[in-house]
Chains A and B, each alone.
Chain A
């Protein structure tokens, strides 16, 4: 967990440092682009209909460092999702804690298509780390003093690595503010480890309770090509 935050801090720090350097440079050699995913914001401002749609781009923040001369540069993106939920309405009460961290780094080039439009393309290495935990507990009475009580803990860790192509299009709202979108086609290989611990206590026909413990480790690896369409808008600051 700490590692993830160190990475986040390092990312933000690099942005700060980069800004300081360009401020002092008399002739601008490098452009910085800092983007933030803005779909929920736009939905708040312009809600044209009630349509639901699932946003599948995990990168909440993007950053590019581009040479003003050649248009080539490096870029990165990070996203983090933390959820802690407890459901007491379900038949079995359960709590889930989700930690999902996604990142990508790569090289790419930006090209001006016209005065207002800028295209970008690049090659990325991408990864994600998921650490999810869920707990549940239920007691089932099935008559004649018989009962079945179950407490379960499931820990799931996924560490995915891969990469692929990325392309995007930016529109200049002003010389420093851009509206952008992007698509990517990544191959990801994601080994997953899961630990399932179950404590089950059964009481039958008034007899003594019998408790059974089970602890299982499972692992699986998923590999897939995925296409992320340009359904997400980024608000980008250029400096």
Chain B
């Protein structure tokens, strides 16, 4: 009898909640008011040192990067998931797309992409967590046409949307020597030019390398632990070069670090269709790592301490676990990093933050809220 009453109450509650959620709500949204502000003379990006694009082309890319017109509902831009203030990553495990639905992976930070990304016939490297794109100019349009992220139907729809926004006529004309016609190829080129010129080279780590600063004792201890005792540099070698993603496309750039025994996300394996690549993901740059939480391809670790806990005693065994994380007995190693050592390593990783980059107006949104 009591059970019947309980189930009846549940039934009524479900019905009431159901009808309440179906209640008609207004479709009117209060408009946001923005002003497009660009400097009279374009910012200088010194692109000649890296990629060779003109400042006008990079400026066009900057506007496109921050423009919500590039999403199907005019609400999401590239910058919605790649926020400057957190090293062009997102401060959530999974970003939200145009319908507020969760994306499949954590937003990867953007900085110091190499000129190799721009080469056409040879070279190229691995973009996205699973390395499915090799060239920046083809990669930049993928999130725009992704059905969860920005939702545009195809490249032509992107071009049409940009063509209809009146402020692009002048920007395209300047960027392409007087030719103001809009094509998806030009959009991709401009976006790639901007993204490829987001550069960081003024962290404390860089200043120490250049003899302009010195590490504190704690940071020095962390550096020593990172490169020597725990040999983190064997995978994160690119942290010592200005180039955050230094390697060309190479399966060795993808590693299974023992996050799971069974893979809900195959990573590289889904691209190569090779079971031996299952659970392997790109080794990311550690530049700005202190401000790009959460970590891993699924944002499972909220803090750097959680990441160190994983290496300390949380590595899961699997057939594809990287050999560097296995002991002589072929089982996962337990680094057993002490709390003091963790503090030191985190302090060292903090020296990789480039505060000038995350506040640099050249990389900031040109759309200012009124």
Residues of A within 8 A of B (CB): 1-2, 4-5, 8-9, 12-13, 15-16, 19-20, 49-54, 56, 82-88, 90-98, 132-143, 146, 148-154, 156, 192, 194, 196, 198, 200, 202, 204, 212, 216, 218, 220, 222, 227-229, 231
Cβ of B77: which chain A residues have Cβ within 8 Å of it?
A: 91
Would A152 and B75 count as touching, CB distance under 8 A?
yes
**Cα–Cα distance between A82 and B21 once the two chains are bound (Å):** 8
| Residue B300 is within 8 A (CB to CB) of chain A in the complex | yes
Q: Which one of A20, A91, A216, A231 contacts B367 once the chains associate, using CB atoms below 8 Å?
A: A91
- 12 A–B contacts from the bound complex (CB under 8 Å): A5-B18, A52-B298, A83-B100, A85-B100, A90-B76, A91-B77, A91-B80, A139-B33, A141-B33, A153-B27, A194-B153, A220-B147
Would A152 and B74 count as touching, CB distance under 8 A?
yes
**Cα–Cα distance between A134 and B58 once the two chains are bound (Å):** 31
Would A5 and B27 count as touching, CB distance under 8 A?
no
Secondary structure of the A side of the interface?
Answer: strand
**Cα–Cα distance between A144 and B99 once the two chains are bound (Å):** 34
Q: Which of A50, A56, A97 has the most CB of B within 10 A?
A: A50
The residue in chain A whose Cβ has the minimal distance to the Cβ of B305 is A50
Q: Which one of A12, A51, A154 contacts B301 once the chains associate, using CB atoms below 8 Å?
A: A51
Would A142 and B10 count as touching, CB distance under 8 A?
no
**Cα–Cα distance between A131 and B34 once the two chains are bound (Å):** 31
Would B264 and A231 count as touching, CB distance under 8 A?
yes
Cβ of B8: which chain A residues have Cβ within 8 Å of it?
A: 16
**Cα–Cα distance between A93 and B94 once the two chains are bound (Å):** 20
| Residue B317 is within 8 A (CB to CB) of chain A in the complex | no
Annotate B15-29 by CB proximity to A: 1 below 8 A, 0 otherwise.
100110110010111
Would B73 and A136 count as touching, CB distance under 8 A?
yes
Q: Which one of B36, B98, B147, B294 contacts A141 once the chains associate, using CB atoms below 8 Å?
A: B36
**Number of residues of chain B lying within 8 A (CB) of chain A:** 63
Would A51 and B69 count as touching, CB distance under 8 A?
no
Known: A56-B264, A141-B33. A97 touches B73 (CB 8 A): no
**Cα–Cα distance between A90 and B28 once the two chains are bound (Å):** 16
Cβ of A20: which chain B residues have Cβ within 8 Å of it?
A: 4
State which residues 82-120 of B face A: CB under 8 Å: 93-94, 98-102
| Residue B72 is within 8 A (CB to CB) of chain A in the complex | yes
Would B302 and A50 count as touching, CB distance under 8 A?
yes
**Cα–Cα distance between A87 and B80 once the two chains are bound (Å):** 12
Q: Which of B29, B69, B101, B166 has the most CB of A within 10 A?
A: B29
Q: Which one of A12, A139, A227 contacts B31 once the chains associate, using CB atoms below 8 Å?
A: A139
Q: Which of B34, B35, B303, B369 has the most CB of A within 10 A?
A: B34
| Residue B56 is within 8 A (CB to CB) of chain A in the complex | no
Would A91 and B7 count as touching, CB distance under 8 A?
no
Q: Which one of B3, B32, B101 contacts A19 once the chains associate, using CB atoms below 8 Å?
A: B3
Cβ of A204: which chain B residues have Cβ within 8 Å of it?
A: 166
Would A54 and B74 count as touching, CB distance under 8 A?
no
The residue in chain B whose Cβ has the minimal distance to the Cβ of A196 is B72
Q: How far is the CB of B259 from chain A (nearest CB, A)?
A: 10
Would B66 and A94 count as touching, CB distance under 8 A?
no
Would A97 and B25 count as touching, CB distance under 8 A?
yes
**Cα–Cα distance between A202 and B169 once the two chains are bound (Å):** 13
Would A12 and B14 count as touching, CB distance under 8 A?
yes
Known: A134-B99, A134-B100, A149-B31. A92 touches B7 (CB 8 A): no
Given contacts A19-B7, A92-B76, A137-B29, 17 further A-B contacts (CB under 8 A): A5-B15, A8-B14, A12-B10, A19-B4, A50-B306, A51-B300, A52-B302, A54-B93, A91-B34, A134-B98, A137-B32, A141-B36, A141-B370, A143-B36, A151-B31, A153-B73, A156-B99
Would B301 and A135 count as touching, CB distance under 8 A?
no
| Residue B214 is within 8 A (CB to CB) of chain A in the complex | no
Would A93 and B31 count as touching, CB distance under 8 A?
yes
Would A140 and B7 count as touching, CB distance under 8 A?
no
The residue in chain A whose Cβ has the minimal distance to the Cβ of B369 is A91
**Cα–Cα distance between A54 and B69 once the two chains are bound (Å):** 29
Q: How far is the CB of A101 from chain B (nearest CB, A)?
A: 11
State which residues 50-76 of B face A: CB under 8 Å: 66, 68-69, 72-76
Cβ of B166: which chain A residues have Cβ within 8 Å of it?
A: 142, 146, 148, 202, 204
Q: Which one of B30, B98, B147, B306 contacts A88 once the chains associate, using CB atoms below 8 Å?
A: B30
The residue in chain A whose Cβ has the minimal distance to the Cβ of B302 is A50
Cβ of A137: which chain B residues have Cβ within 8 Å of it?
A: 28-32
Known: A91-B66, A94-B73. A1 touches B32 (CB 8 A): no
**Cα–Cα distance between A19 and B21 once the two chains are bound (Å):** 29
Cβ of A1: which chain B residues have Cβ within 8 Å of it?
A: 22
Cβ of B25: which chain A residues have Cβ within 8 Å of it?
A: 84, 97
Annotate B299-314 by CB proximity to A: 1 below 8 A, 0 otherwise.
1111100100100000
**Cα–Cα distance between A93 and B75 once the two chains are bound (Å):** 7
**Cα–Cα distance between A16 and B94 once the two chains are bound (Å):** 39
| Residue B209 is within 8 A (CB to CB) of chain A in the complex | no
Q: How far is the CB of B300 from chain A (nearest CB, A)?
A: 5
